[in-house]
Amino acid sequence: MPTPLAEGDFSAVLTTAELEVIASLRCFVVEELRTARRFLSAAGLRGHIDELELHELNEHTSPAEVEALAGLFDGGRNVGLLSEAGLPAVADPGALLVDLCHRHGIRVVPMVGPSSLMLALMASGLNGQSFAFKGYLPAKTPERRRALQELERLSSRLGQSQIFIETPYRNDAMLTDILECCNPSTKLCIATNVTAADEDIRTKTVEQWKKQKPAIGKRPTVFILCA
């Protein structure tokens, strides 16, 4: 089940079908308990939070703990899977639970909601017929520049849009590295705070961005590079 990417009215980013399903469930596997309770309360379960059975699944969950989650489905119970923002299991935890379901023959039903990666891609004007998502690049400048140049080569060779993200507090360092090591003619989409009131999605060449470096700050940002 997708969750919103930004503060605001749920009806702009979640379907009424998803909100109805949330209200009907009493068991959820979530990335983080505290924010999941806040979301579920606002999404229709206010007054029922103490009745809910919530289980965490994130990078700290051991393989044995994941396997134990199979018991949640006993008796054919429906269980919701949530991550902190956007789609669970896509650039976010959750895939291990989904994998477990397939291995146990438990039906998995994805619900429609916001994917920051696809919202950025569809609004970028870059190649949406061939693309790749790499997740996070290395955090240190020399390694990051090598990774960026490799993405640029791949994009040029395969005609493939390259999508990547960065921890918000490193956005500015990432942008500096992109502008200093990529070809001036390479196109770069910077998609900041997608679905928020201050959403800003623009595509320019590296050369054009250099002339007017955008102020991303620490807002969540998706980068798409197309050489």
Closest distance to a second copy from the beta carbon of 151 (Å) = 12
DSSP single-letter state for residue 43: I
Closest distance to a second copy from the beta carbon of 108 (Å) = 5
Q: What is the number of other CB atoms lying within 10 angstroms of the CB of residue 61?
A: 18
Comparison of 92 and 172: residue with beta carbon closer to a second copy: 92
Comparison of 178 and 224: residue with beta carbon closer to a second copy: 224
Closest distance to a second copy from the beta carbon of 224 (Å) = 12
Beta bridge partners of 189: 203, 224
Comparison of 14 and 227: residue with beta carbon closer to a second copy: 14
CA atoms within 13 A on the CB side of 189: 24
Closest distance to a second copy from the beta carbon of 72 (Å) = 16
Instruction: Report residue 21 as tokens.
Output: 């399903």
Q: Say whether 223 sits in a helix, a strand or coil.
A: strand
Q: Say whether 183 sits in a helix, a strand or coil.
A: coil
Binding site for a second copy (CB under 8 A): 9, 11-17, 87-92, 94-102, 108-110, 112-115, 117-135, 160, 194-195, 199, 201-204
Comparison of 49 and 99: residue with beta carbon closer to a second copy: 99
Place of tokens 């690049």: 137
